[in-house]
Amino acid sequence: MADRNLGQQNQSSKIFNGSNPLNNGTNPDDLVLSEIENYIYMILFPTISFMGIVGNLSSFMILLRLSNLSSFYMYLACLSLSDVVVLSIGGIYRWLMMTVLSFETNGPIVCSVPFAFLMLFSALSAWITATVSVDRYIAVYYPFKVNQYCTRKRALIFVVLAFLLLLAINFPTICYEWNDDNSSCITPEFTNDYCLEYINYIDLSGYVAIPFCFICIFNILIIRGIYNAATQRRRLTSVGHRTTSIIKESTKRTVKVLFVVTTFFTVCYLPFAVASFYGIFYGKSWFQVKEQVPLADAIIHTAILMNHAFNFVLYGVSGQQFREDIVALFCCRRALSR
């Protein structure tokens, strides 16, 4: 295939480093939007990212210890590490590019590689969240097979396989040959078409649509299973039969955490899904959507960043054991024995 210049790398650089100035500040409304956007990227992003990195690293230490009890916690530990990478690249590194580096370098090291890995780990976090729903589905419907299928080893194998698959999908977005002034990437025609035409569909389906469907389907099945078990238990109790719940209390507690995390994931990714469907339906590129809808880029990235940053808060809100362990960790006391 003949080589040709790919403007996508310059465009992805702008996505990665923040939005473009609006009409050079000639319009008062544009000046206000520019100030809001500048506040979001320069102050809100690094603040959320720093809090999220500290929280996720703390969560990882606690969840890794809890993974001895269930594969559920192993998945959440891997999710915490994936979120740390997203926050480090998408929040802290982006902020450094806008301040310390000041857009002076546009080469492959500071643009395409971090951008590709940002997409990779964002998708990995989404798929881990979806897989947690499958894991709890097995725990609810097949409690006697939990020791066989819901293990730390199987959880790690899935995360590694998902990482390798997503790496292959995002591989073409990494640039390996740049022109003389490092302003654009020289790529084969297939890679150029992949980045400009197909990546939007892959992003929407791989990051949001398919994981969202998994989450909805298996969460609904989990709710149905818990409801049926509770109904059966009440019926047997009402006729004087002694019964023990097949669904363990520990499983119910992890399901509670699951519902909180997946609901937050869905809410945070809604702006991205709406903008993507809008662009596909009307045949508009991501940059045309940004121009037509002010602050769309900043709102979407802020919502996604919050999803990666605040999971540790959700664990604390929905899990008593996690709250006790996080307090013990920050108070420099030994965690309660189990």
Q: What is the pLDDT of residues 167-204, one digit of tens each?
A: 888 777 776 666 666 666 666 666 666 665 666 677 77
- The pLDDT of residue 110 is 43
Whether 338 is covered by a domain: the verdict is no
Whether 152 is covered by a domain: the verdict is yes
Give the residue, 37 or 303, on which the prediction is more confident: 303
pLDDT per residue as tens digits for the range 31-48: 666 777 777 888 888 899
* Residue 143 clears pLDDT 60, i.e. is over it: yes
- The pLDDT of residue 18 is 42
Whether 139 is covered by a domain: the verdict is yes
Q: Which of 23-37, 189-203, 249-263, 277-291 ranks highest by mean pLDDT?
A: 249-263
pLDDT per residue as tens digits for the range 80-104: 999 999 999 888 888 887 776 654 4
Q: For residue 325, name the pLDDT band (cuts at 50, 70, 90).
A: low
Whether 336 is covered by a domain: the verdict is no
Mean pLDDT of 50-65: 90
Whether 337 is covered by a domain: the verdict is no
CA 106 from chain center: how many Å? 26
Domain that includes residue 113, residue range: 3-330
CA distance 86 to 121: 6
Whether 106 is covered by a domain: the verdict is yes
Alpha carbon of 277 to those of 126, 139, 151, 304: distances in Å?
A: 18, 34, 37, 17
Whether 293 is covered by a domain: the verdict is yes
Give the residue, 14 or 291, on which the prediction is more confident: 291
State the total domains in the chain. Answer: 1
Query: Measuring CA to CA, which residue among 95, 93, 56, 98 is closest to residue 77?
Result: 56
Report the share of the chain in percent with pLDDT over 70: 67
pLDDT per residue as tens digits for the range 206-252: 778 888 889 999 999 998 888 887 787 777 666 555 555 556 777 77
Query: At a CB cut-off of 8 Å and minimum separation 6, what does 170 contact?
Result: 116, 117, 119, 120, 123
What CATH number is given to the structural domain containing 8?
1.20.1070.10
* Residue 274 clears pLDDT 80, i.e. is over it: yes
- The pLDDT of residue 74 is 92
Q: For residue 77, name the pLDDT band (cuts at 50, 70, 90).
A: very high
